Structure 1
Amino acid sequence: MYFDKFSKVAQKAIDISIEYAKEFGHRVVGTEHLLIGLIKEKEGTASKVLLKLGMDEDIICEKIIDIYGIGINDSTDDIFLSPRSKDVLDNSAIFAEQFDSILIDTEHILLAILQETDSLAVKILSMNNITEQVIIKSLIEVSRPETSIILFRDESKMEEPKKEKEKLNIPTLEKYAVNLNEYAKNAKLDPLIGREDEMQRIIQILSRRTKNNPILIGDPGVGKTAIVEGLAINIESNKVPSSLQGKLIYSLDIGGMLAGAKYRGEFEERIKKVIEEVVKSDDIILFIDEMHTIVGAGATGENSMDASNILKPVLSRGDIQVIGATTIDEYRKSIEKDTGLERRLQPILIEEPTKEESIKILKGLKEKYENFHGVKITEEAIKSAVDLSSRYIVDRYLPDKAVDIIDESASRIRMKNLKLKNNKPTVNSEIVTEVIGLWTGIPISKIVKSEGDKLLNLESILHQRVIGQEEAVNAVSKAVRRSRAGLKDPKRPIGSFLFLGPTGVGKTELCKALAEAHFGNENQIIRIDMSEYMEKHSVSKLIGSPPGYIGHDDGGQLTESVRRHPYTLVLFDEIEKAHEDVFNILLQVLDEGRLTDSKGRTVDFKNTLIIMTSNIGAKSINKQQIIGFSAYENKNVIDENYKAMKEKILSEVKNRFKPEFINRIDDIVVFHKLNIDNLHEISKIMLSNLISRLNQLNISLEISDDVLNLISKYGIDLEYGARPLKRAIQKEIEDVLADMILSGDIKKGANIIANVVEEKVIFENK
């Protein structure tokens, strides 16, 4: 910035604006500060105009403080011009040149500010009914005669095209389309942040002599429509080449044109009228969102034409210009097949923005949402919205999903604080976390709060439910900690394990305990019984039937479940019973953390925990020699027996599964056979759960040691693990209690104690 090109009066005005920014404790000089400087510098023409129109610095200061507040006034901090203020000072040089002025003066800065239609300065002026035309007329009245002539000349230039546009006879187009330029003028469009390369490419294609019809292709929510709206804003701000200046972008509603078209040929007549009106005007560009809908639209039989065939001739002649937008899938399905339409359009691929780009976009939109909801949005909330939506909402795209999260978070906090009139509630990361939890059904708030302590003590939490399986508990706990610390491969699942062991040793219980500890709910498990996938064709049940087959629209049992619940534990029970082709599917899940279903949708497994169970080697475990209590006291004997048994089981696993499958599993865990001490502990846990269920019925139960010994006597079976214990508790305690509750012998509020009399459990009131 060369300040020697500015007049002394203009330089003073800029200095004043910097001083006011410092006084407010703001580190950035915005257009609103420049506006104060222009008013305060009384010698400038801009000050005379603004004062004449009823503006003063108090009005502006009050608005600035209301929106931004007062910061800390630190004289040591550097003050910077905002990007928009830099643009204003750069553009003021253009106005000075147009007015044949050697130096840039305050009126030129004022005119440049007016071009920034979305700036706070222009909004403040608009609130006081001060428009660009009003200022130009006032400038003519107070400026020097020679400048008046230039302003008259410039005003006529500005008025002429507007008069021409007013004369446009486009009744059909106005009925079925929206003028985006008009929306841009009235600040009804959100500003476009970033996307410079894509914008440059659109302008480049629109400026071509032939085939000048760009079509934006990208996933839903990546910002295709926002780019076109940004182009309309740029046109209104004269930030486009001369070939596009004065152009009008109309967004055509194909659905609206089809609606109510009862008779054959009625739709064709409507679209032909629209095309005729656009052809007569050289300044209109049609924007067709969801452009794939024009293929087949309006066709009622073999002899009727659809919208795409009506458009093709005028597109090939260059009579009209069109900007299209569609998704990648719909482009391939509809437009790519129609080669005649495809060759008339120039595709521009719109990629999903990165997290960093999305954060910038949200920061640019922050003011709009703050003003709409009457809240303050913190930077932490924006970062959380981007990070957490990327992690947990995998079926949508940035920045759309993050913008929606911020919008709903602002709405939620406003609803919670309806009584607050003066103080603006703050949208912080906690509110964002709540909203994402509501969207996904994942109790994220439980995961975030005190998560570090919980993860460090995960083994202790799991051991409250899983007894005697140190190795298994340690293995899954370490995998979860690696994941939450950000050290795991970001493309792979949280962890993948193969659990081996006989029945009743706690394989399923560990899965439930892990789901409750890590995912917030023990029911957060997708259980797939692999005995149902023994046939070759059963692979289609996992990912969905191919097109044309029954059940194609239903989706796969695995892919659809994970797509709907992306943050969960996936349990493949009895994995050894699955067909070989099923293992080929699992290879992709274990290695790449994704799977493509029959509809071509990519399902993300990176937030899942994969656990497979198998009974391979169960016979080897049952042969483990442990006789009497002395063996349990000799830890060395137990360790040696377990080590020998584990080697034998792993050998059987290698013979049963392919090396590429085994190599993709994080850990193979062989569960220990439960001993008598383990089963005693498990019986205590089961009885404790029973007492908790009775407490919910307002019944208090106390169990004596004799009852515990009786349950152990009937229920302990080293071969079948803990399940016989469960059956013994049901038979000796739960069945008797159920009869007594139903007969009225035990009523709500009762305090009872369980004892043993003649090898039977009896219940008495305390």
Structure 2
Amino acid sequence: MYFDKFTKSAQSVIDSAIQSARDMGHQVVGTEHLLLGLGKVRDSTSCKILNQLGVDSEYLSQKIIDIYGIGINDNSDDIFLSPRSKDILDSAFLYADKFNKELVGTEHILLALSQESNSIAYKILEKKGVNKDKVTNAISEKIGIDISESKNRGEEEKKKDQPKIPTLQKYAINLNEYAKENKIDPLIGRDNEVERIIQILSRRSKNNPILIGDPGVGKTAIIEGLVNKIEKKEVPKYLFDKVVYNLDIGGMLAGAKYRGEFEERIKKVLEEVKLANDIILFIDEVHTIVGAGATGENSMDASNILKPVLSRGDIQIIGATTIDEYRKNIEKDIALERRLQPILIEEPTREETIKILNGLKEKYEKHHNVKITDEAIIAAVDLSSRYITDRYLPDKAVDIMDESASRIRMKKEKSQKVKNVVYSDIVAEVVGLWTGIPVNKLMKSECERLLNLENTLHQRVIGQDEAINAISKAIRRSRAGLKDPKRPIGSFLFLGPTGVGKTELCKALAEANFGDENQIIRIDMSEYMEKHSVSRLIGSPPGYIGYDDGGQLTEEIRRHPYSVVLFDEIEKGHEDVFNILLQILDEGRLTDSKGRTVDFKNTVIIMTSNIGATSINKEKSLGFKPSCNKNEIEESSYKIMKDKIIQELKNKFRPEFINRVDDIVVFHKLSLENLYDIVKLMIKQLVDRLKSMNIDIDVQKDVIEFIAKEGLDLEYGARPLKRAIQKEIEDSLSYEILSGYINQGDNIIAKIKSDKVVFERKLKEI
């Protein structure tokens, strides 16, 4: 530092600053010590200006002690200027030169200090109500020069001296300008990643960082945060004047009709960047440069044009891409890979994501004109982590918060009664809309529905209390939030004789939960009897037909994550299919043929099987004492049947499969009372179908008894009853309708006459 270029007063200021730092026991002369020196040198221009603004040396001295305290004064000569103090004195030289002064005066040092808004000195002045405009105006009055005009002229001259970059401005966005206009969101955390980027940018060669991470973890946000830091001068000095441009490779390719036109554009951009010498190119989705612009064997792509300038260090670029794209496009090009220094960006933790959302909250509140509560932020992070498994934090949590605020704003516009505050229940609603999973807080009506779920299921499934209770408990655990979040809602294996309601219970559950029995993902295992058919569930491997179509099971779950999944007739499938089911039952996840993880955590897995049914039907109820009542006989018979079925189950399936199922339910045989109730249920369904055709039918009690008698077959359960209804009622009824005897609007009575169901029309009242 050549202090002979300073006026005597300015030299006295430097000496006073050094002495003040030494007296206070400080080892470094900071901007605050320079400011104290400016206030201590009597009769100097700076001292008069500071006194005029109400700032004296006693105030400055006390403030510095308040901030740093008093150190140990060892009278050491080993004391030096801080980097920022050196920058202040450098700026003072520039101001003196700008005002055509041969020597640097105290007013130039004060002016330079007032422009450094991030310094301690400026913050001390701010506490006295002094800002840079007040200092600038006071100096202008004192020296008789309009500094603001001079400053503007200097900036205009600086702009004139800057090299022209028309091509770059056409195909790139100046991120520094965005930062100046406050259009960039703040960066929360990620200090280690930013430090590594700055470290790589500071290298002499191969100084091109590339950010690699999953989509949505915040790669672009880190670069925008770096730009904000450059604008605020919170980076090392050599990055102060850097300007970051976001290059649009797609825009450069668009409209390049002739061969060589794209290459010409990119060469122009590189030349302009090289001449400017202070530009960093940011290329988002940097993998697109591989192959970009190549039209034939002899034409070059963008990556081959970039390689020479990157190796020489003529330009600097920052890239961002996903892990998969980096592996597929950049890793295989060794020459390009070694010119780019990878930085792995991990998904933030739950706590880090909450901090990020708290940092962004203000901007979203201002945009939507709402208040976002802390509980809404926590809900956005937790619910998105649990239910949106194919995306990454913080992106998915930010999107949930944004849409929740948007939802409240829309509701507020429709009704003034709605408070413009985002709570956790609104966040839950939005997550439910995204995924189709009902994650919102339980309303009173839904609580009642869940508490009465057994009764709802019993309206369709007669008997089978054990199975209905097991299913109902699992659904209640899930909706109350008590289930293990890493496993499906419930996994059940339904066993027992044929025709007792195993599949019907699945349909009843789908109807109770979703309002439609068809909202069920049904996999008929009789279609998966061959070894190779396993690929139909998760998708064909690469190179085989149907690879792009995905798996029948995995694609359905991706589209409908909250479902009842029915594996019907499980014993008929190939044993390799059971291996696929192991991780679904245990971890609630499955990886498809494309490597995507499919989430089964919000599904009810039900497997039905008729294993042991043949031997059950051959069993005879022998050996009971005459004194045994009917219930005891039925219980003993059921226990024998259950033991036999469980034994056959263990013989058929491996222990690791059986051990992963939450509950194995053996269905009871249907009793005569059950069959009679089932007939009434089937008749009711027929009556409802006829009502939709505007035909009313009154089925008399003797018809129900007749059908129950005709379809009675304890061995085959309820299915013979359906056939009896078809034969005795539906066949005759369809004939009468087609013959014109029964028409729309008629009232019909079904009765028994001569062991046959007949239909009579009721006479309409006149």
> What TM-score, normalized to structure 1?
0.77
Distance 1:631 1:441 in 2: 56
Verify: 1:263 aligned to 2:261, yes or no. Answer: no
The residue number in structure 2 matching 1:220 is 215
In structure 1, the partner of 2:77 is none
Q: Distance in 2 between matches of 1:158 and 1:633?
A: 110
Rounded Cα–Cα distance in structure 1 between residues aligned with 2:84 and 2:510 = 65
1: CA distance between counterparts of 2:158 and 2:745? 85
2:380 aligned partner: 385
| Among candidates 155, 166, 175, match of residue 171 of structure 1 | 166
Give the match's secondary structure for 2:238. Answer: coil
**Which amino acid letter does the alignment assign opposite residue 705 of structure 1?**
K
The 10-residue stretch of structure 1 (339-348 or 369-378) with the greater mean CA deviation from structure 2: 369-378
Asked if 1:540 corresponds to 2:535, the answer is yes
Q: 1:270 to 1:698 in 2, by over 3 A?
A: same
Partner Cα separation in structure 2 for residue 685 and residue 506 of structure 1: 13
Give how far 1:180 is off: 1.1
Query: Contact 2:569–2:609 at 8 Å: present in 1 too?
Result: yes
2:272 maps to which of 269, 273, 277: 277
Q: CA deviation at 1:707?
A: 2.8
- 1:365 corresponds to which letter in structure 2? L
C-alpha separation between the residues in 2 aligned to 1:749 and 1:382? 58
Measured after TM superposition, the shift of residue 554 of structure 1 is 0.7
Q: Cα gap change, 1:382/1:700 in structure 2, threshold over 3 Å: closer, same or farther?
A: farther
Alignment partner, residue 369 of structure 2: 374
Q: Number of residues paired by the alignment? A: 663
* 1:55 equivalent in structure 2: none
Q: Is the 8 A contact 1:258 1:298 kept in 2?
A: yes
Residue type of the alignment partner of 1:525: I
The CA distance in 1 between the partners of 2:139 and 2:319, in whole Å, is 46
Quote the Cα distance in structure 1 between the aligned partners of 2:53 and 2:725: 93
> Cα offset for 1:164?
4.6
> 2:21 aligns to what?
none
Contact 1:286 1:321 in 2 (8 A): yes
Q: Tell me the CA shift for residue 148 of structure 1.
A: 11
Quote the Cα distance in structure 1 between the aligned partners of 2:475 and 2:242.
56
Cross-structure match for 1:677: 673
Amino acid in structure 2 at the alignment position of 1:756: I
Say if 2:31 and 2:84, in contact at 8 Å, map to a contact too.
no
- Tell whether the 8 Å contact from 2:286 to 2:320 is kept in structure 1 after alignment: yes
Paired residues of 1:632 and 1:638 also in contact (CA < 8 A): no
Matched, 1:762 2:763: no
Distance 2:720 2:160 in 1: 86
Partners of 1:367 and 1:743 in 2: CA distance: 74
Deviations 1:15-68 (A, max 9, x none): xxxxxxxxxxxxxxxxxxxxxxxxxxxx9779xxxxxxxxxxxxxxxxxxxxxx
What is the correspondence of 1:55-94 to structure 2 with a 5 Å cutoff?
none
Q: Distance in 1 between matches of 2:716 and 2:468?
A: 21
Gaps of 5+ in 1: 8-42, 47-85, 87-92, 122-133
Q: Return the letter of the residue paired with 2:685.
A: N
Secondary structure at 1:549's aligned position in 2? coil
Structure 1 pair 227/552, CA: closer, same or farther in 2 (3 Å)? same
5 Å-filtered alignment, 1:398-477, equals 398-418=393-413, 425-442=420-437, 451-477=446-472
Partner of 1:241: 236
Q: Does 1:641 align with 2:637?
A: yes
Counterpart for residue 295 of structure 2: 300
| Structure 1 segment 597-636 matched on structure 2, within 5 A | 597-625=592-620, 634-636=630-632
Report the Cα distance in structure 1 between the residues aligned to 2:119 and 2:745, rounded to whole angstroms. 76
Q: CA deviation at 1:295?
A: 0.9
1:572-583 matches, within 5 Å, as: 572-583=567-578
Matched, 1:194 2:189: yes
Answering whether residue 319 of structure 2 is matched by residue 316 of structure 1, we say no
Higher alpha-carbon deviation: 192-201 or 243-252: 192-201
2:354 alignment partner AA: I
Contact persistence 1:358–1:398 (CA under 8 A):
yes
Aligned-residue identity in percent: 68
Alignment of 1:328-339 (within 5 A): 328-339=323-334
Which deviates the most, 254-263 or 716-725? 716-725
Q: Is the 8 A contact 2:171 2:252 kept in 1?
A: yes
1:645-660 pair list within 5 angstroms: 645-660=641-656
Q: Give secondary structure in 2 for the equivalent of 1:547.
A: coil
Q: Residues 287 and 500 of structure 1: is their aligned pair in 2 closer, same or farther, counting only changes over 3 Å? A: same
User: 584, 596, 599: which one pairs with 1:589?
Assistant: 584
**Residue 496 of structure 1: SS of its match in structure 2?**
strand
Mapped to 1, the partners of 2:650 and 2:150 lie a distance apart of: 85
Aligned to 1:35: none
Preserved CA contact (<8 Å) 1:385 1:402: yes
Q: Does 1:570 align with 2:562?
A: no
Which one-letter code corresponds to 2:670 in the other structure?
L
Contact 2:173–2:246 under 8 Å retained in 1: yes
**2:658 aligned with 1:662, yes or no?**
yes
* Closer/same/farther in 2, CA of residues 753 and 446 from structure 1, 3 Å limit: farther
Q: Compare 672-681 and 696-705 and name the one that shifted more.
A: 696-705
Task: State the 1:411 CA deviation.
Answer: 3.4
Larger Rg: 2
Aligned residue type for 1:542: L
Q: Which residue of 2 aligns with 1:516?
A: 511
C-alpha deviation, 1:380, in angstroms:
3.9
The unaligned stretches of length 5 or more in structure 2 are 1-29, 33-51, 56-66, 68-82, 90-105
Residues 12-91 of structure 1: pairs in structure 2 closer than 5 A: none
User: Compared with structure 1, are the counterparts of its residues 447 and 264 closer, same or farther at alpha carbon in structure 2 (3 Å cutoff)?
Assistant: farther
Q: Distance in 2 between matches of 1:761 and 1:696?
A: 21
Shift of 1:697: 5.0
Question: 1:161/1:393 Cα in 2 relative to 1: closer, same or farther (>3 Å)?
Answer: farther
Q: 1:210 Cα shift?
A: 3.0
The CA deviation at 1:719 is 1.5
In 1, Cα distance between the equivalents of 2:316 and 2:427?
Answer: 42
Worse overlay, 704-713 or 747-756? 747-756
User: Is the aligned partner of 1:209 residue 2:181?
Assistant: no
2:428–2:441 contact (8 Å) kept in structure 1: no
Q: What secondary structure sits across from 1:638 in the alignment? A: helix
Task: Tell me, in whole angstroms, the C-alpha distance in 2 between the residues paired with 1:251 and 1:585.
Answer: 46
TM-score by length of 2: 0.77
1:374 is displaced (CA, Å) by 3.2
Deviation at 1:353, TM superposition (A): 2.7
SS of structure 2 residue aligned to 1:309: helix
Code of the aligned partner of 2:703? V
Amino acid in structure 1 at the alignment position of 2:459:
Q
Contact 1:447-1:519 at 8 Å conserved across structures: no
Alpha-carbon distance between aligned partners in 1 of 2:336 and 2:450, rounded to the nearest angstrom: 57
Query: CA, structure 1 residues 230+698, in 2 after alignment: closer, same or farther (shift >3 Å)?
Result: farther
In the TM superposition, residue 737 of structure 1 has moved relative to its aligned partner by: 5.1
Task: Give secondary structure in 1 for the equivalent of 2:258.
Answer: coil
In the alignment, which residue of structure 2 is the partner of 1:39? none
Report deviation, 1:162.
Answer: 9.4
Seen in structure 2, the aligned counterparts of structure 1 residues 413 and 158 have a Cα distance that, compared at 3 Å, is farther
The Cα shift of 1:172 comes to: 1.0
Q: Which amino acid aligns with 1:168?
A: P
Shift in CA distance, 521/326, structure 1 to aligned 2, threshold 3 Å: farther
Change (3 A) 1:487 1:187: same
Query: For residues 747 and 375 of structure 2, what CA distance do their matches in structure 1 show?
Result: 52
Q: Is the 8 A contact 1:528 1:572 kept in 2?
A: yes
CA 1:138–1:652: 2 relative to 1, 3 Å: same
Of 712, 715, 720, 2:716 maps to 720
Question: Are the counterparts in 2 of residues 497 and 668 from structure 1 also a CA contact under 8 Å?
Answer: yes
Letter in 2 for 1:306: D
> Does the 8 Å contact 2:565/2:605 carry over to 1?
yes
1:632 Cα deviation from its structure 2 partner:
11
RMSD over equivalenced CA pairs, Å: 4.2
Return the alpha-carbon distance in structure 1 between the equivalents of residues 619 and 444 of structure 2: 44
Q: Is the 8 A contact 2:212 2:322 kept in 1?
A: yes
